[in-house]
Structure 1
């Protein structure tokens, strides 16, 4: 796609209409030829038709017999009405515009629209962003990428990226930029381009009407110089006036006169400050602008009760970790470059029907139970498990995280053990069997005997109020992100109400949906307000599957659903990770970190914990049901921690990894070699230089593979007549690439290249 320069146009259609009204108050004299009548009852005359009293040349004046009447601005009083120029199918926009497209502050994204006019006249298009307060904050000239389909496009950015965190000084300025922005595509008649196209032909063939054509051009440039909408400075206005006078000078040859308007200087003005006639705005498209980490985030998960756990040498029993010992997990996450630490539930765990190791139905005396079986005599969702510590201990852990620049994400599992206080306080909140007993949760053939499912049909409003109370309590304690367990088993409307209530007061709070379910439900949860979502990435392992899923994740779908790539979770350990050893872990880490702006790691990945429970796609000795004692000194033996650290460094240093809208899959000749590129133009990097990363991965964890990778140089603004210098960000080695490039990757050496273009 060809990127155009930024235009200085900042006026909205209303401002232009006001200018037109002012111009229409001037009576036009002497127009006896080619006079057109406006079909609008609200616009008396077209813009720019007033007499230029100070014009030195008759041909420059607007009242000559050959004056062209420009397209008027037509008032639109109903969303179904067309303007003078037709604008259709503006994207991003789905579900008839009911749900706003979501972008992170400073994120690069693509705008498209169909823009056209009747006949053979030429048109242009401008995309304009408006702040929540209605101010036109940014605009860009669009490029026609498919003339046959009248498809126009441009890249845009809402505000500037900010890494200021919610608890830091300066976040108030960030917060003011969050909320509902609007995007309008303004179509307009490109009178200059239409005129120049015809005039060049007439001059070339010595058409008998060439004199009229040149006079029309002189008038048009004079009107352009006086149009406030063009945003011209004094020198630019003088340049256009001088060109108009030359066009009107009959002492020169037609070729010499035309050259005054057909040159690089006027072409540059046409690109940056065009004359826009008949400006016609589209219906607004709404954008929900969210803070950093809503799109670009690196998650790290650990269980506080395992962090710092050890075996008592005298008793042989495990002594569990606490919130105080969990500081080591924060420090590990920080050292590896992650920025959000996700803690599974830290609430009291029920005793009734408590699960044992590997999800057995009978717990032993020392089995801690699943932290997802929430609630006991000590309390429910508003209480810290006494075995982990106190609320003050939790606040101290959050304070330490903030000191390290880390956010705390707390798991919010809306489910209860039979011992939860709600069972007695709100028995109507639970589903009952015909015999009057409460039914435990199940997903046949799976059964969760330690959990009572909530029945939202009885008192959804009451449950919503309680959940808002609980989330507010944890927000006050320093939580800025909630990871919600199994949201797809609760009504979408429930989450929509809860998230809207929370974010109205706390727009900085983010939500991650753990929803490995049908695509429709995942999309609906995104519409309902979930900022990010777990997804199908763990099960996309072949080249064909990954190419399709990378394209799906990094597309217009991502204006609504932000897929977060996790190679493993406590519930997911695929056959690929099981069977491909250290190389497989490295491959999945590269794909997750480079394939999506948001990714996450469940701790233990660094220690190659990849043994499956027989018959299940999850780890044996699952941490959900027991406390893990880990020897973190062994992490250096595998090199995965080092790989994670490098990947997070690359992500921080390269803006191209920050957007869901800039990935291109590259052609590769080997079925085991996957390649893709991420590209951000210079206007959106904050560095003044474009940023391009090329990722090449050998998906085979056992054998070496070679491939040719095709790079369409022009698509990324790269020189097409010479080699391009690349640096492997993982190893520091340097390469030179052109159109087709040979790559060889072996799992015992390099599983992947992450190549940055050296501009």
Structure 2
């Protein structure tokens, strides 16, 4: 991150009516990428020694008065923009990320790397430059970076920025107040400017090369330009840098030198370095600011772990009956999540369960006397969404559980299913909140062919405002009890505006609260829910299993879509068990875990995954003996037999250690020949890692859980800052070391290694 202090910036070009020699608008940008570019020029340009010799001569032959007395060319002005739609002196269009006309801001986590592009151009053949400026919600300039023209034919300029510094501070920890002050709506401004130096150098080089009869005027113009550059406060030059430019101007004017030597004085590595870091920017024109919503840690990069409190610590007594777990025994689930390296523990509803139409095992319509019912059938005579199920414990027990979680560094996410059992207090208190059939009965929930006779859905048409107020009250109650995240069940079956109102009201008071949408539905609805304020989203990852499907979905998740919809990759859930997980055994579980953990900054595991619980209910993509309808008694000592818990732990360790896994905007799919070998790279440049070194992970996965596969994998070394023809890599999963080059042979067998996660050694 490039900080700009108040003594370096005294006026912003986006608010200045004009920019001239006396109007400071930007700081010196000491960007490391620019320095590398200049360093490269230093090694490729020749004749430096000769220029140093003639420079000493020039100082003696050209009086300073001659240089200081020259007439200066008028610089391109910055034309004021006084109303929307007006162009400045330079044209700046189509700044991204930007969706829906800028109504909904792009979202990134504090410290997340993100990508900015824009069209920047000017009339004729004059050359332009572009700079991206990042400002906080309070207007403080946090970063300025020069942009690179990646497509001259389309005038497309690009750059990566970073929204502050990464933080792992939790909402309940000391120091979160400092994090909280940094959150909110930041702005990205792309400034286009006339690159007078580059335009002059291009033309002067041609004229000197052909001995044009106008070469003296061209050189005089260059000297004027260098002198004006030295005086322009916007360039942010120090005394030594100004002297470099003035000395160069003297040599350009020294007619005792050849015209080639005079031009070379203005074409030196030192001046090119200044052009990279402290350019002369004429006609500065700011594009329309793009909003960027910076959110707190864990809004993009997080690892989730789900368990049912009533199964945690459950056992079979001497009479063969199951004794359910409680909030007190659920501490073991917290400890397991912590040991495996997860950040967030997600709990299904913990409220009283209705009796009317209670479901039995495997969603049968009639419950047995010992069937606990689905926790999603919320509400009984004991209470509704504001009550802890007495079979689990009390509100004090829940507070103790969240306190223990916080002690372990874990956040608690609570399921908020906005639906009721027929026994919920709302049914009598607010009958108008439910849809009635013509015969006067309340309609139960359906998702044909699935039916949920134990659930009444809410009808929002009669009193949406009243329902909003009640939901806000409930969320305040659970926030006060230690909840920092809500996982919302089926939000796509409720009005988007409802969630927009509720989330807006809750986050206004508690900007640290995050929301996960369980919305397996149409892409438009999922995007709209993200616009409405859902921080994370379930997604289609479980059903993307072939190489072609995965390559497409990795690119869909890790692109501009990731500014709005933070896809969370879950291999399984209580509702989802795909044929791939069913049929590929232990290797398949390992494969899906690697893809989830490395394929998205957000991923989650439903407990039991470590025990290879992969038997499907016939005819359905869900587990048989589904935990939604019964209490599971698990023998966690068997987890060691499968090794999946160890893989989960390793993946979370890798994610914490490597900044490259933290962003939705740095993934590149690699070419590989075999249809079962998938390969991709996550790369974060040195400027954004916090270590001063780039961070690059190469992930290669064998998608076949039964057979070995081999493939050549192509790696474009230079795209990831790798110099030379080879590089050493370290397998973070196995500890082995390899050497990779442009084309690499990979062999993976499910009985040995299902995947490589290779970190590049720079």
Query: How far 1:237 moved relative to its partner?
Result: 1.3
Q: Which residue of 2 aligns with 1:648?
A: 652
Number of equivalent positions: 722
Q: Residue in 1 aligned with 2:732?
A: 729
**1:394-413 map, 5 Å:** 394-413=398-417
Encode CA deviations 1:578-636: one digit per residue, 9 max, x unaligned: 00000000000000000000000000000000000000000000000000000000000
Q: Which residue of 1 aligns with 2:328?
A: 324
Q: How far apart, CA to CA, are the structure 2 residues paired with 1:22 and 1:639?
A: 67
Distance in 1 of aligned mates of 2:104 and 2:565: 12
Listed as ranges, the matches of 1:1-80 within 5 Å are 12-14=12-14, 16-17=16-17, 19-20=19-20, 57=64, 60-61=67-68, 64=71, 67-80=72-85
SS in structure 2 of the partner of residue 257 of structure 1: helix
Q: TM-score, normalised by structure 1?
A: 0.93
Distance in 2, Cα, partners of 1:7 & 1:477: 40
Q: CA deviation at 1:243?
A: 1.2
Distance 2:406 2:368 in 1: 38
- 2:249 maps to 244
- CA 1:62/1:485 → structure 2, altered by over 3 Å: closer, same or farther? farther
SS at match of 2:456: coil
Counterpart in 2 of 1:666? 670
1:447 aligns with 2:444: no
Q: Give the equivalent residue in structure 1 for 2:741.
A: 738
CA distance in 2, matches of 1:468, 1:361: 33
The one of 284, 296, 299 aligned to 1:294: 299
Matches within 5 A, 1:80-479: 80-313=85-318, 315-479=319-483
> Partners of 1:493 and 1:56 in 2: how far apart?
73
Does 2:753 correspond to 1:750?
A: yes
**Per the alignment, do residues 282 and 379 of structure 1 end up closer, same or farther by CA in structure 2, a change over 3 Å counting?**
same
Matched-pair contact (CA < 8 Å) for 2:4–2:142: no
Query: In structure 1, how many angstroms separate the alpha carbons of the residues matched to 2:174 and 2:230?
Result: 46
Aligned to 1:342, the other structure's residue is in SS state strand
Query: What is the TM-score of this pair, normalised by structure 2?
Result: 0.93
| 1:186 counterpart SS class | strand
Q: Deviations over 1:363-403 (max 9, x none)?
A: 00000000000001111101100000000000000000000
Q: Is the 8 A contact 1:97 1:286 kept in 2?
A: yes
Unaligned runs of 5+ in 2: 25-61
Separation in structure 1 between the aligned mates of residue 664 and residue 74 of structure 2, nearest angstrom: 44
On the 8 A contact 2:4/2:141 being kept in 1, the answer is no
Report how far residue 57 of structure 1 moved: 4.6
Per-residue displacement from partner, 1:462-485 (whole Å, max 9, x unpaired)? 100110110011111111111000
Structure 2 residue matching 1:478: 3-state secondary structure = coil
Q: Secondary structure, in 3 states, of the residue corresponding to 1:280? A: strand
Q: Is there any run of 5+ residues in structure 1 with no aligned partner, and where? A: 25-54
- Displaced runs of 4 or more, over 3 A: 4-11, 14-24, 55-63
- Partner SS, residue 225 of structure 2: helix
Q: Provide the rounded CA distance (Å) in 1 between the counterparts of 2:716 and 2:449.
A: 51
CA RMSD of aligned residues (A): 1.7
Mapped contact 2:358–2:374 kept (Cα < 8 A): yes
Aligned to 1:40: none
Counterpart of 2:594 in structure 1 is 590
Distance 1:493 1:153 in 2: 35
Q: 1:241, CA displacement in angstroms?
A: 1.4
Check 1:500–1:458 CA distance in 2 against 1; reply closer, same or farther (3 A cut). same
CA offset digits 1:520-556 (Å, max 9, x no partner):
0000000000001000000000000000000000000
1:47 aligned residue: none
1:7 and 1:140 in contact (8 A); partners too = no
Displacement of 1:5:
10
C-alpha contact 1:6 1:272 (8 A) present in aligned 2: no
1:613 aligns with 2:630: no
User: Could you tell me which residue of structure 1 aligns to residue 689 of structure 2?
Assistant: 685
- Deviation of 1:251 (Å): 2.4
- Cα pair 1:7 1:141 within 8 Å, conserved: no
Q: Over residues 672-728 of structure 1, what are the superposed CA-to-partner deviations in whole Å (9 max), with x where a residue is unaligned?
A: 000000000000001110000000000000000000000001110111x33200000
Q: What is the aligned partner in structure 2 of residue 29 from structure 1?
A: none
SS at 2:419's partner residue? coil
The residue correspondences of 1:457-536 to structure 2 (distance < 5 A) are 457-536=461-540
